Amino acid sequence: MTPDERKRYLWMASRHARRGSGSGSAVLRERSEVYGSPNLDFLKARVDFVVVGGLATRLYMPERMTLDTDILVLAMDVPAAEQALEGAGGAKEGALAIGGSTWRMPEGRTLDLITLDAPWTEDAVRNPVEGEDDLPYIALPYLVLMKLAAGRLQDLADIGRMLGAAGDETIEGVRKVVSQYRPEDVDDLESIVRLGKLEYGQSQAGND
């Protein structure tokens, strides 16, 4: 999706959005791990990484079905990570356009080993949020950066739901990170925040 296409999409969504028109508030604030967590203990012993993608969103919004695992590692740790994946029975299937590779794990899950050259990558990997499953997850501001860069409709919807549930302090933290690393997306971020709050039945952010 190009920047112009994104703006048109957000403009159209803003025209039709109505306060509280999404799922019930209790459902939107629910957090679960219905689809389970991958066993990445073999990787935790070898390299620093954070879980990103659909699995990471469940820390910040209602869980949506995903059987894939996406992890972000530093470029210098890719060889060690690939050795660990091979040792765990993984089979490399190909390269990722964004950087990294796709692996098929023995239990049938697909694992994307992602590496980025973005200036914030090390901060994201070194400062994870620990989930209830003891996995290291990417912090919300950096997850928003990744989804803004990806620019798919699902990514924009995820940002809206995650920030719709967030309070003022959390959203301000996201604003600062986006302003620093993706200033061209600041206006779009504000539109997404407004749409997210409307889905939760709010007109503006509440307190943390």
As a whole number, mean pLDDT of residues 31-57 equals 84
- Is residue 55 within 8 A of residue 128, CB to CB? The reply is no
Q: Is the pLDDT of residue 45 over 90?
A: no
Q: Which of 78, 57, 67 is nearest to 129 (CA)?
A: 57
Read off the pLDDT band of 208 (50, 70, 90): very low
Q: What secondary structure letter does DSSP report for 151?
A: -
**pTM recorded for the entire structure:** 0.82
The answer to whether residues 60 and 162 touch, using CB atoms and an 8 Å cutoff, is yes
pLDDT of the residue at 73: 97
Average pLDDT, the chain: 85
Q: Is 205 helix (H, G, I), strand (E, B) or coil?
A: coil
Sorted by sequence, the CB contacts under 8 Å of residue 132 that are 6+ apart come out as 33
What's the first-to-final CA gap in the chain, in angstroms? 32
The pLDDT score that the predictor gives to residue 15 is 55
The structural domains of the chain, with segments of one domain joined by +, span 3-199
**pLDDT per position as a tens digit, 157-179:** 899 989 988 999 999 999 999 99
Given a contact cutoff of 8 angstroms between Cβ atoms, the answer to whether 101 and 83 are in contact is: no
pLDDT at 37: 78
pLDDT given at position 1: 67
For residue 18, what pLDDT is reported? 52
pLDDT tens, 125-158? Answer: 999 999 989 999 999 999 999 999 997 888 998 9
**In the chain, what percentage of residues exceed pLDDT 90?**
61
CATH topology of domain 3-199: Beta Polymerase; domain 2 (3.30.460)
CA separation, residue 190 to residues 31, 40, 129, 171 (Å) = 24, 35, 24, 10
Q: What three-state secondary structure class fits 113?
A: strand
Structure confidence by residue, pLDDT tens digits, 74-127: 999 999 999 999 999 999 999 999 899 999 999 888 999 999 999 999 999 999
> Is the per-residue pLDDT at 16 higher than 90?
no
pLDDT of residue 4: 76
